[in-house]
Amino acid sequence: MRLKILFFTICYFFIFIKIGFTQIAVFPFEDFSGNEEVNIKFAEKVASYLVTQGIKVIYPQEVIKELIKLRIKRIGVIDRVVAREIFLKLKAQYILLGSIYELDKEVPSLCVGIRILKAKNCKLVWSKIFSFCGKDYHPILGIKKITYEDILKKCFNNLFAGFKEEKINVMYSSPVLEIENVIFKTKSVKPGNTIEVALKLKFSGPKPEKLMLNVGDDKLVPLLKTGAYYIAFWRADLKEGKYPIILISKWDKNWNTQKKIFIGSYTVDNTPPQIKLEFWGVKKLANMIAFNKYLEIRPKILKKEKITRWKLEILSKKNKIVVMEEQPGDLPSTFFWRGIDNSGKAVPPGVYKLRLSVWDEAGNLKVIEKKMLVVKKLPEIELRAFKIDNKIRIIINVKKHIIPIREMRVEIWDNKGNLIKKLDKKELKKGKVVLDNLPLNLNYEIVAIDVLGNKLFVKDKINPQVLKKKKKEEKKTPKAEEWVHEF
């Protein structure tokens, strides 16, 4: 007799579980039609329709009470933890989520989408969308008009056509763990440095007896509970490379279950950032770059990686800081320097040194240095004239310029515009040119342009008014007058 009672009790338990769990929890519908953000009335109608189809439901009003307890803010998206809580506390086998994209009772028109999930594991088992507009309805005789209620009936029949409940005896659901947040103190370190990771976890059911991280090469690190987070520390590997991090959770008591979740990776990096500098508005010389107005610097990262800090310095010949800028974060795509110091004053011409220091996430430092020449001085050409009797002797001296001269010429004309003499770059490169027996009343034109565009241009007369007469000296002939013009 006792055995029979026990048998019927067990059977009743299974029946209770089966009946209790073969029902759908209907969530309030998200409403994107512009009427309201959450549409409970429409969800109630869906629930009532399912009841007419012989499906047991939990109405939205009951679901809302549980969602408030779980502090759910958005009803259209749920995770496995929330799904399992609905499964256990409301004894729902399925969860129905819905979205309204268009709802107009006047036209009428309706566009609705639904998703049905298994509550115990949050897996999608059914998904469908319905869209219909009364303007597209054309009855045979053009007499009958379609109503919103007609569309609603058509909608429900279409959305759930073919859906069948799974009649499954569910006696338990295994514990669920979800990761809410992962924080890396740094994801890139030098070999042997410390890695720190913090995890914020969410549980449904009993918490695991063991929580640890597999940080590569089967090295296991325990997670320690600190406030709202679980924290792990370990020494990075000595070999450069990328190492995966896997969360391992174990339930030994009653469950004998283990779950693994990939949470990210860290990188062991012992190589400085690979960077080169490109320069614009400059002239490249043998071992430096030269400019006159401005310098444009474009840093290029050859191998993509995270830059955490940079510092740009411009130093004088005596290694004194002229300009310095330092900031955290990525490198700017371009730097401009217009030849001014930190106070805003123009720097004197001369040799300077540019130094760019860059740190990556692991703390590796890359320093690039480049010599620069600031050129503001024009090319110099000295023209001297001597009057001997009724003739002119002209001596042209081309002074040494700090950078190469691109173009250079000297032209001498008479008062009628006739070209008397023209000297080009090839002749002037000798440094000194002497012209004898030239007539009086001459004009001249000097043009000299260096490779940076610094330009000397002079056009004038050889004017007797600027001649300097030398005193007579004994035993010195011939008598001569000298005119000097230096540029």
Q: What's the CA gap between 456 and 433, in Å, rounded?
A: 18
Maximum CA extent, the chain: 159
Q: Is there a shared CATH topology between the 176-268 domain and the 381-486 domain?
A: yes
Which residues contact residue 281 at a Cβ distance below 8 angstroms, ignoring those fewer than 6 apart? 291, 293, 294, 295, 296
Q: Tell me the per-residue pLDDT of 54-68, one tens digit each, with 9 for 90 and over.
A: 889 999 999 999 888
Tokens representing 394? 């002209």
Q: What is the CATH number of domain 381-486?
A: 2.60.40
How do the domains of the chain map onto residue ranges? 2-159, 176-268, 275-374, 381-486
Which residues contact residue 38 at a Cβ distance below 8 angstroms, ignoring those fewer than 6 apart? 28, 29, 30, 31, 75
Q: What's the CA gap between 273 and 303, in Å, rounded?
A: 7
User: What are the residue ranges in the chain where pLDDT is below 50?
Assistant: 1-21, 167-171, 464-469, 473-477, 479
- Residue in the block written with tokens 């220091």: 357
Three-class secondary structure of residue 455 per DSSP: strand
Q: Domain 2-159 sits in which CATH superfamily?
A: ABC-type transport auxiliary lipoprotein component (3.40.50.10610)
Which architecture characterizes domain 176-268 according to CATH?
A: Sandwich (2.60)
Q: Tell me the per-residue pLDDT of 230-256, one tens digit each, with 9 for 90 and over.
A: 999 999 999 999 999 999 999 887 778
Average pLDDT taken over every residue of the chain: 84
Tokens representing 72? 């759910």
Angle made by CA atoms 321, 327, 328, in degrees to the nearest 5: 145
pTM to 2 decimal places: 0.58
Three-class secondary structure of residue 112 per DSSP: strand
**CATH of region 275-374, choose from 1.10.1370.30, 2.60.40.4070, 2.40.50.100, 3.40.640.10:** 2.60.40.4070
Lateral strand order in the sheet of 224-226: 176-184, 194-204, 229-235, 224-226
* pLDDT given for residue 141 in this prediction: 56
- Residue in the block written with tokens 């007469």: 469
* pLDDT given for residue 301 in this prediction: 92
Task: Give the H/E segment covering residue 368.
Answer: strand 365-374
Going by DSSP bridges, is the β-strand pair 480-486/381-388 parallel, antiparallel, or unpaired? antiparallel
* pLDDT given for residue 264 in this prediction: 92
Q: 478, 399 in Cβ contact below 8 A?
A: no
* pLDDT given for residue 46 in this prediction: 95
Q: What's the CA gap between 40 and 91, in Å, rounded?
A: 21
Q: Tell me the per-residue pLDDT of 297-319, one tens digit each, with 9 for 90 and over.
A: 999 999 888 999 999 999 998 89
Going by DSSP bridges, is the β-strand pair 188-189/194-204 parallel, antiparallel, or unpaired? unpaired
Where on the phi/psi map is residue 132: left (φ > 0), alpha (ψ -120 to 50), or beta?
A: beta
Q: 246, 263 in Cβ contact below 8 A?
A: yes
* pLDDT given for residue 324 in this prediction: 93
